[in-house]
């Protein structure tokens, strides 16, 4: 049963006459007759009774006339949805996220993407760096966001922007009186840091911080190791220590916490990148990646 046969059937069902129906369909009568016969053969039942004046619907024909518009409407809907998906205007985008990027960069990017493609369902997955890489290879996410991503032959890393580093500290701390803070200022100060694992093949911000301390001859005193930026800043608010984090963390305006720029010779900013599978043909992903070049230019001052 073909869609064209259904359309021809409906016209004949309305006209009850092969000649008039053929005229409406801009065809001659013999091809229309063949189409209706082929439809009846496909369904295994007669749809019309031939009469001296034209045709009348059989019981089966009446049943098909009731259902055919729904079938044609569903087919049109499937066609539209398929075309939209092929253009990246419909479907689903799975995004791996982490830490402080969810406070600023990623929400802005997702808001722009949603405004342009509201029919694309966006699913967020909280994953660390290694988990994002694994999820990409297992096709559980389309794209991930992280820092200090290692080169991988099957993945593409795209720089998004560079973020300045800042120091979060209790408002009552003497260093809060300074306009900017150096690593020397942080020498032997209680420091709240993200996890550091000597066995991890994927270094992060914590390793960068510790290396910068060493290069500038300062001694870090790590008192807490936490997994996420919210916990980190909350501990600062509780007076348990200071933290070195990215500028987007300053959006967490917890009571008792102030932020100051970090002035460090070997640690000024850090790059945020996105990563996706090499050769991924998804038009939705391509549309999402097309927004990245304008993101840094649109970064709030």
Helices (H) then strands (E): counts for the chain: 9, 12
**Which of 16, 20, 92, 73 is CA-nearest to residue 48?**
16
- Using the predicted structure, report yes or no on whether residue 198 has a pLDDT greater than 50: no
* pLDDT value of residue 301: 39
Where do we find the tokens 């801009």? 26
Task: Give dist(CA 147, CA 154) in Å, integer.
Answer: 18
Nearest residue to 138 (alpha-carbon basis) of 274, 277, 273: 277
Give the pLDDT mean for 16-44. 92
Give the number of C-alpha atoms closer than 13 A to the C-alpha of residue 58, restricted to the C-beta side. Answer: 9
Residue 51 in tokens = 């009469």
Strand pairing class (91-97; 143-147):
parallel
Task: State the DSSP H helix or E strand holding residue 2, giving kind and residue range, or none if neither.
Answer: none
Please check whether residue 100 is in contact with residue 228, taking contact to mean a CB–CB distance below 8 angstroms. Answer: no
Provide mean pLDDT across the span 198-205. 60
User: Are 275 and 155 contacting, i.e. CB atoms less than 8 angstroms apart?
Assistant: yes
For residue 208, what are its two tokens? 């960068």
For residue 298, pLDDT over 60 is answered with no
**Mean pLDDT of all residues in the chain?**
88
Full set of structural domains in the chain with CATH: 3-86 (1.10.10.10), 91-161+271-294 (3.40.190.10), 163-269 (3.40.190.10)
Radius of gyration of the chain, Cα coordinates, nearest whole angstrom:
32
pTM of the entire structure? 0.69
Tell me: pLDDT of 294 over 90: no
| 143-152 mean pLDDT | 90
Segment 167-173 shows an average pLDDT of 94
Q: In this predicted structure, what is the pLDDT of residue 157? A: 94
Q: Which two tokens stand for residue 109?
A: 């990017």
Q: What pLDDT is stored for residue 207 in this prediction? A: 86
Can you give the pLDDT at residue 260? 96
Mean pLDDT within 179-191: 94
Q: Which residues contact 52 (CB under 8 A, 6 or more apart)?
A: none
Mean pLDDT of 270-297: 86
pLDDT band at 230, cuts 50/70/90?
A: confident
Residue 79, pLDDT score: 79
More confident residue, 57 or 79: 57
pLDDT (0 to 100) of residue 300? 43
pLDDT at 240 over 80: yes
- By mean pLDDT, which of 12-26, 43-57, 96-110, 139-153 is the weakest? 96-110
Q: How is residue 175 annotated by DSSP?
A: G
Q: Stretch 273-292: mean pLDDT, rounded? A: 92
pLDDT at 196 over 80: no
């Amino acid at each position: 049963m073909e869609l064209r046969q259904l359309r021809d059937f409906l016209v004949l069902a309305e006209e009850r006459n092969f000649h008039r129906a053929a005229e409406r369909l801009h065809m001659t009568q013999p091809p229309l007759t063949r189409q209706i016969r082929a439809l009846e053969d496909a369904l295994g039942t007669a749809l019309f009774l031939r009469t001296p004046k034209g045709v009348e619907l059989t019981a089966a024909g009446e049943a098909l006339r009731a259902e055919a518009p729904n079938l044609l409407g569903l087919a049109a809907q499937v066609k539209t949805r398929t075309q939209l998906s092929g253009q990246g205007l419909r479907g689903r985008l799975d995004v791996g996220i982490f830490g402080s990027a969810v406070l600023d960069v990623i929400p802005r990017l997702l808001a722009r993407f949603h405004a342009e493609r509201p029919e694309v369902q966006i699913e967020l997955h909280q994953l660390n760096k290694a988990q994002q890489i694994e999820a990409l290879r297992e096709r559980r996410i389309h794209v991930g966001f992280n820092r200090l991503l290692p080169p991988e032959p099957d993945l593409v890393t795209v720089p998004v922007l560079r973020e300045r580093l800042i120091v979060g500290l209790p408002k009552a701390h003497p260093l809060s009186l300074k306009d900017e803070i150096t690593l020397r200022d942080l020498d032997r100060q209680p420091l709240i840091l993200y996890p550091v694992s000597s066995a991890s093949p994927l270094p992060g911000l914590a390793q960068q911080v510790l290396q910068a301390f060493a290069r500038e001859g300062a001694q870090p005193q790590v008192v807490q190791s936490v997994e996420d930026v919210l916990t980190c800043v909350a501990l600062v608010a509780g007076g348990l220590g200071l933290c070195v984090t990215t500028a987007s963390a300053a959006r967490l305006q917890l009571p008792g916490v102030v932020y100051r720029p970090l002035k460090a010779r070997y640690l000024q900013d850090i790059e945020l990148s996105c990563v996706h599978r090499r050769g991924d043909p998804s038009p939705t992903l391509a549309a999402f990646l097309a927004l990245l070049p304008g993101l840094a230019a649109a970064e709030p001052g």
